[in-house]
Structure 1
Amino acid sequence: MVQSFLLQRVMLPSLMLALLLLSLAYWWLDNVPHEVFGTGLFALLCWHIYANRTWFKNLTRGKYDAMRAVRVFLHAGLMANMLVLLVTSVVISKSVFAGLPIPDSVYLREIHWFASYWVIIVTGIHVGLHWERLRTSLLNHLGFRQTTPALRFVFLAMGAAFALQGLASFETLGVWTKLTFNYSLDFWDFTASVTPFFGHWLAVFMLPATITHMLMAIWRRSGRRTSTSVRGASVDQETS
Structure 2
Amino acid sequence: MLTTRVAHRLLVPVAMAALLLLSLAYWWLDNIPHEIFGTAMFVLIAWHIAMNRLWFRNVFRGRYDGRRVFTVLLHLFLIVNMAVLLATSIVISRSVLAFLPLPNIAYLREVHWFCAYWVMIVVGIHLGIHWIRVMALLRSMLGLSRGSPLRAWTLRAAATANAGFGLWSFWVLGVWGKLTFTYSLEFWDFTASVTPFFGHWAGVLALPAILTHYVMTGWVSAASHGGRLAGLRNPTQRPIQSVG
User: What are the ranges of 5 or more consecutive residues in structure 2 without an aligned counterpart?
Assistant: 240-244
Deviation at 1:137, TM superposition (A): 2.9
Deviation at 1:238, TM superposition (A): 6.3
Conserved? CA contact 2:88–2:109, under 8 Å: yes
Alignment of 1:69-218 (within 5 A): 69-218=69-218
Deviation at 1:34, TM superposition (A): 0.3
CA offsets 1:153-189 (integer angstroms, 9 cap, x no match): 1121011011000000110111111110001111111
Q: Distance in 2 between matches of 1:140 and 1:150?
A: 18
Deviation at 1:231, TM superposition (A): 1.6
Deviation at 1:141, TM superposition (A): 3.8
Letter in 2 for 1:147: G
Letter in 1 for 2:213: H
Give the aligned partner of residue 221 of structure 2.
Answer: 221
TM-score, length-normalised on structure 1? 0.95
User: What are the ranges of 5 or more consecutive residues in structure 1 without an aligned counterpart?
Assistant: none
Give the aligned partner of residue 5 of structure 1.
Answer: 6
Q: Distance in 1 between matches of 2:140 and 2:89?
A: 40
Secondary structure (helix, strand or coil) at the match of 1:189 reads: coil
Give the aligned partner of residue 26 of structure 1.
Answer: 26
Give the aligned partner of residue 66 of structure 1.
Answer: 66
Q: Distance in 1 between matches of 2:84 and 2:41?
A: 14
Q: Distance in 1 between matches of 2:236 and 2:57?
A: 41
CA offsets 1:16-52 (integer angstroms, 9 cap, x no match): 1111011000000000000000000000000000000
Letter in 1 for 2:72: V
Secondary structure (helix, strand or coil) at the match of 1:60 reads: coil
Q: 1:80 to 1:122 in 2, by over 3 A?
A: same
Q: Distance in 2 between matches of 1:140 and 1:6?
A: 9
Secondary structure (helix, strand or coil) at the match of 1:78 reads: helix
Secondary structure (helix, strand or coil) at the match of 1:235 reads: coil
Q: Distance in 1 between matches of 2:37 and 2:146?
A: 39
Percent identity for Structure 1 against Structure 2: 51
Deviation at 1:237, TM superposition (A): 6.5
Q: Which moved more, 1:182-191 or 1:136-145?
A: 136-145
